[in-house]
Structure formats: structure tokens, C-alpha cells
Amino acid sequence: MGSATLTIDLDAIVANWRALDAMTNCETAAVVKADGYGLGAARVAKALAQAGARRFFVAVAEEGGVVRDALGPNADILLFGGHMRGDTDMINDLHLTPMLNSLDQLTRHFEALPSAPFGIQLDSGMNRLGMEAIEWEAVRDIVLSQNPVLVMSHLACADEPDHAMNTQQLAAFRKMTDGIEAPRSLAATGGILLGPQYHFDLTRPGIGLYGGLPFEAASPVATLSLPLIQTRDLQAGETVGYGNTWTTNTTATIATLSGGYADGLLRALSGGATLWANDIACPLIGRVSMDLITVDISHLHEVPRHLDILGPGQTVDALAEKADTIGYEILTSLGSRYTRRYAGGFAQ
């Protein structure tokens, strides 16, 4: 097999959802945007629906269509991006629920789909999406009279528990929403870990479902195995890869593996990442190229058929640290050429 194999443990995703759900006394939704953080929104959503999740968040209407096709009519699918121009037919036909972010979106939705469900997103200080306090104050009574299904905001620094922004945003959100009857939501994964005062009526875990920080107790979800294409023995002084960025100072055995930046293995991993032969670490040497990487396997007793870059030896966040990025980027960059295998009882 020429392509690498990405194995996704659906049981682990479900276990992570259940663990986060157990930390709260409210409803726990699931965020499956960006194709389920790169792991397959349809399969992930199906597993979580079987486990009891009833609300699913995506970024845009097109992603909502994928999840609707997978889950059928009974799940609630909410759009963080709201009601964008040109989305009206898709929102109506697929029974999607936009989280309206602005006065323009509010007007568009009320005029085009006056009886369709909607939610509201408020800006509590992140300055990204959502109505600001002055806008919300102007339309609050009108909006609440139309019974929004949810009023939400998003925390900017929830992965830093001691950051002052968390309490500032909590206070701002409470000021804008205390006393309303509509359900409220503020917490994603990091917000769940901040404690009950951030939970309100619904939480929206994302990265924690997929084994990423800040949920340190998460079960690992993804294993990425790269097949070995070729080996070669080098003499001292020989170089490897583009730019001659690695030179061996002794004899060495180098493996060329199928996988590169076209598959989401970031170029920033060049010369710094580690792959694993079971429990033996093997350094990535030279540059990551489009389709290939090279690894020093001189210390192995036998040539392996594959090496793992994600798995028991290396979590997604450990790999991200090698590229000076975050686990989100590693997962959502995973390419389309991988052979994807779904494992666990929820894969049946």
C-alpha cells in the first residue's frame, strides 16, 4: 500500500465526549466542524449521535449538509457562521439552525425565513464573531420575542485557566444575558474545564473530543502510520533531501516514507519531528517534502514496514509542539490521500 494509514478510534472520541459530559449538569453538544477536525465529520457525528449527542455545531452551511446527510432529520445542526448571503435555501431545505452574528444576518434571516429556528451569538470580548453589547441592547427584546434556540458567546483564553480574560468575558456574558429565558452557552472544551459557572445550559466541546489539549485526560484518538518505500545506506559526509540540510557524520541507514506536506505533515517539522517503530524513537531528518519524508533508522535491528508519527508514542499536541503550532492545526491539516480506517465498536 503506497498511502499512509490514518486510524481513527471512534470509541475514544465517544469516551472523551462522555467524560466531558460527566463534568457538567447541562446538555453537551459536539463540534464537528472542519470535517470533524480532520477525522471525518460524518463518521464522528454518527458515533456521537449513537452515544447520545443531539446537537452538532459546524462552521458553515455546506458542512451542515454533510452532517445532515449522515444523521438524518432528528439531529439539531447549528452554524457558527450564521446566515450568510446565499445560504437561505440550504438552511431551509436541510433544517439548519444559524447562530446569527450581526444585525445584517438578523435582518436576512427574519425576512427570508421568518418562522425558521435560529440562535444568537454575542461578542463578550473576543472581537471576532457576534453582536456587541450596544447592538444586542437595541434588538434584544425583539429577538427574544422570537424564541431563539440558543444564545451563545465564545471564550478567547479558556485554555489558560488563570487568564483574566475568562472572568471578564463571563461577567460580560452574564450582563448581556442574565434574566433571559433562552438557553445559554459559553463553554467549549476549555470552558468546561474552567468549572460550573461557565457551563450554563449547553457546552460545546470540540478539540477535547479528538484527544487534544487543554483536555489532558483525553483518550488519544488518531494513529498515523507511514509506509516505508525505500531504504539506503549512507557513508559519512553524505547528505539527505532538498537543500542538503542534513549530513551524516557516520554510516547511516535512511528510510524514505510516504507522506509529506501535501498530506498535512507541516514543513516546520523538518529536522525536528520524531517517528516511532513501536516504542523506539526514530528522528525525522532533512526537509519534509511534498510527498516524502526521510527518517534515520540506523539503530533499528530490522527494517520496519511502517513508522508512526501519531500514536501511543506521540500525541497530536506533542507533534504540534515540534512544529511550534497547536494540535488543532495538525489534525485539520491531515490530507485526503490517507487510507482512513475507523476502529472501535462505534465503527460497526
Residues carrying an active site annotation: 33, 242
Q: Alpha-carbon distance 315 to 208, whole Å?
A: 13
Q: Alpha-carbon distance 177 to 171, whole Å?
A: 10
Question: Which runs of E-coded beta strand occur in the chain?
Answer: 5-9, 27-28, 30-31, 55-58, 76-79, 97-100, 119-121, 151-152, 184-185, 202-203, 222-234, 239-240, 246-247, 252-258, 274-277, 280-285, 292-296, 306-310, 339-343
Please, what sign has the CA dihedral across residues 75, 81, 83, 84? negative
Q: Alpha-carbon distance 238 to 340, whole Å?
A: 36
Separation in Å, CA 268 to CA 289, 330, 331: 11, 11, 15
Q: Alpha-carbon distance 153 to 244, whole Å?
A: 49
- Determine phi and psi for 321, rounding to 5 degrees: -60, -35
DSSP 196: G
Bridge partners, residue 223, by sequence: 7
